Amino acid sequence: MLITPAYAQAAAGGDANSMLMSLLPFALIFVIMYFLILRPQQKKIKDHQELVKNIRRGDTVVTSGGLVGKVTKVVDDDQIEFEISEGVRVRQMRQMISGVRAKGEPAKEKSEAKDETSAS
C-alpha cells in the first residue's frame, strides 16, 4: 500500500484549549504594541494639540521648519502670525508649530483694555 499511516489517521476535532493557546501569542503582541507604541503616540498627539491651542500673543514659538519667532497676532483657530525679524511677519498654520520656547503675557481682555483707555 502506498498510503502512509499519517494520512490514514482521522483528523482530530478542534480542541478549544489548543485554539486559545495558538491565539495567545498574537494577543500578547497586540497588548505589548499598544503600551509601547500606540498609547505614547496618542499622549504625544494630545499634548501637541494642547500646546497649539494655548498659543497666545507674545509667545516665542518654533515651527516645524525651524523658524523661531514671536507671536504678534492670533488670526483664528487655524492660523497665527509671528514676527521672525524686525518688520518681517509670517502667517503659519497652528498645527505646524513644534514648540513654544517662552511664554508671553496673556493678551488683555477687550473689556479691560476699554477700561484702561477710558480711565486715561
Q: Report the distance separating Cα 107 and Cα 94, nearest Å.
A: 18
Domains and CATH numbers, the chain: 55-102 (2.30.30)
What pLDDT score was predicted for residue 108?
Answer: 61
State residue 17's pLDDT score: 80
- How far apart CA 6 and CA 11 sit, in angstroms, is 10
pTM of the model: 0.62
Q: Which long-range contacts (CB under 8 A, 24 or more apart) does 30-37 make?
A: none
- pLDDT, averaged per 10 consecutive residues of the chain (120 residues), comes to 58 69 91 93 94 90 92 91 93 92 66 52
